[in-house]
């Protein structure tokens, strides 16, 4: 069974509130998405395994914990998930990076795949799957399906804002994965946008409004 963690941290809430403001411009938006991803990554990676390694400090020899050679991959859901990659990479710089391209049909809100390239031996890796928005849950569910089809079962999905509908759908479709949410919003509107949300995350990160 995976776990669902609503981070509920004042720093994360504060930064998400800045993103919500329609007057926040592209440059600031991008920077803050990276900062939130780093804060969320810090929490999501708290159960990484360590092993004791012998080092000699200037004072004495000691057995000290270091990350054990667990392979990591960051697989953003394009486009908006790309904005979170550098923040996570700052914590685990040697992680490999894959990409899953999905766009939501404007009428049906169903996700459509247009790209999937994952690092080699993905089945042996812990996959961090970032996407700022979990709305209906369709995109995240399909992305997890794609990763599982390649034999990987160790997956942590990370989003800045979730709608209750999307969180329920994802945790029911994939009860085995861990889900990290920066802020749980009220609901979806008639266009399947998160309310209050922050609008279209991809457009705001890339300035394509
Ligand atoms: C957004 C967002 C998620 C998806 C969430 O992407 O980044 O991937 O919508 O919606 P869902 O939970 O209802 O599937 P979008 O499809 O707008 O593509 P973009 O990132 O290229 O803008
Ligand atoms: N995708 C977004 O970028 N924002 C929403 O509110 C819903 C889906």
- Per-residue pLDDT reduced to its tens digit, 15-41: 999 999 999 999 999 999 999 999 999
Q: Is residue 65 part of a domain?
A: no
Distance 43 CA to ligand 2 centre (A): 24
Q: Is 137 in the pocket of ligand 1 (CB under 6 A)?
A: yes
User: CA-based angle 196:199:202, to the nearest 5?
Assistant: 145
What's the total number of domains in the chain?
A: 1
Q: Is 192 in the pocket of ligand 1 (CB under 6 A)?
A: yes
For residue 192, give the ligand 2 atom closest to its CA: 7
**pLDDT tens profile 69-120:** 769 999 999 999 999 999 999 999 999 999 999 999 999 999 999 999 999 9
First CA to last CA distance, the chain:
39
Kindly report the pTM of this predicted structure.
0.96
Domain that holds residue 12: 4-46+72-206
pLDDT at 141: 98
pLDDT at 8: 82
Q: Is residue 165 part of a domain?
A: yes
Q: Is residue 104 part of a domain?
A: yes
Determine the longest span between alpha carbons in the chain, in angstroms.
66
Q: Is residue 23 part of a domain?
A: yes
Distance 162 CA to ligand 2 centre (A): 9
CATH number of the domain to which 175 belongs: 3.40.50.2020
Q: For 115, what's the count of Cα atoms within 13 Å in the CB-facing half-sphere?
A: 11
Q: Is residue 130 part of a domain?
A: yes
203 a catalytic residue: yes
Alpha-carbon gap, residue 144 to 162, rounded angstroms: 16
Q: Is 77 in the pocket of ligand 2 (CB under 6 A)?
A: no
The chain-wide mean pLDDT, for the chain, equals 97
Q: Is residue 11 part of a domain?
A: yes
């Amino acid at each position: 069974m995976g776990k669902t963690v609503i981070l509920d941290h004042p720093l994360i809430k504060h930064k998400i509130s800045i993103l919500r403001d329609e007057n926040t411009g592209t440059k600031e938006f991008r920077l803050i998405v990276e900062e939130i991803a780093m804060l969320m990554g810090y929490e999501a990676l708290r159960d990484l395994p360590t092993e004791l390694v012998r080092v000699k400090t200037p004072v004495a020899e000691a057995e000290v914990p270091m990350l054990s050679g667990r392979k990591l991959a960051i697989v953003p859901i394009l486009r908006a998930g790309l904005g979170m990659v550098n923040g996570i990479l700052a914590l685990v710089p040697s992680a490999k990076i894959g990409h899953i391209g999905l766009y939501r049909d404007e009428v049906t809100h169903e996700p459509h795949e247009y790209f999937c390239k994952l690092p080699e031996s993905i089945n042996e890796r812990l996959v961090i799957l970032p996407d700022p928005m979990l709305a209906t849950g369709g995109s995240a569910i399909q992305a997890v399906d794609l990763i599982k089809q390649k034999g990987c079962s160790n997956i942590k999905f990370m989003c800045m804002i979730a709608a209750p509908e999307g969180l329920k759908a994802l945790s029911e479709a994939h009860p085995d994965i861990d889900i990290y949410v920066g802020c749980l919003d009220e609901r979806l509107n008639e266009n399947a946008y998160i309310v209050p949300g922050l609008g279209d995350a991809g457009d705001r990160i890339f300035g394509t409004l």
